[in-house]
């Protein structure tokens, strides 16, 4: 099944606009399925967001695309190995009650230091 950016794009979505290049970001990786850029307000020495190009609201919706969800995890691991020592914490805030503020699914990758329990 073909999925294009245009089919899955929301013109009012901040991360769709970053993906389209309308809003600048510090990209550290990109491929056909995801982009990875540095979080504006880092909470660890390395704090990047792995963002599927397709617009899905959260990881519950992304789970309908298991290969894309798996690719998101694979890229998170690659970036943690490239930018830090390879260990990382992967977080999907899901829903406002869990602190999600941007409703385009993204995985937070936190790495590059000793991450305390309960941090982020």
Q: By the criterion CB under 6 A, which residues form the site for ligand 5GP?
A: 14, 23, 25, 37-41, 93, 99-102
E strand or H helix that includes residue 49: strand 46-52
Site mask for Zn ion (CB under 5 A), range 2-41, x = bound? --------x--x-xx-------------------------
Q: How many Cα atoms are found within 13 Å in the side-chain-facing hemisphere of 53?
A: 15
Dig out the tokens for 103 from the structure.
Answer: 């409703």
59 binds Zn ion (CB under 5 A): no
Q: Which is nearer to ligand 5GP, 36 or 68 (CB)?
A: 36
CB 90 within 8 A of CB 109: yes
């Amino acid at each position: 099944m073909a999925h294009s950016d245009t089919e899955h794009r929301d013109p009012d979505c901040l991360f769709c606009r970053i993906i389209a290049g309308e809003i600048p970001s510090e990209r550290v990786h990109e491929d056909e399925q995801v982009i990875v850029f540095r979080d504006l307000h880092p909470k660890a020495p390395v704090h990047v967001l792995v963002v599927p190009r397709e617009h899905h609201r959260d990881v519950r919706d992304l789970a309908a695309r298991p290969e894309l969800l798996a690719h998101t995890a694979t890229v998170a691991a690659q970036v943690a190995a490239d930018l830090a020592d390879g260990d990382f914490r992967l977080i999907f805030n899901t829903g406002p009650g869990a602190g999600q503020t941007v409703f385009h699914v993204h995985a937070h990758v936190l790495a590059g230091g000793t991450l305390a329990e309960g941090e982020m």
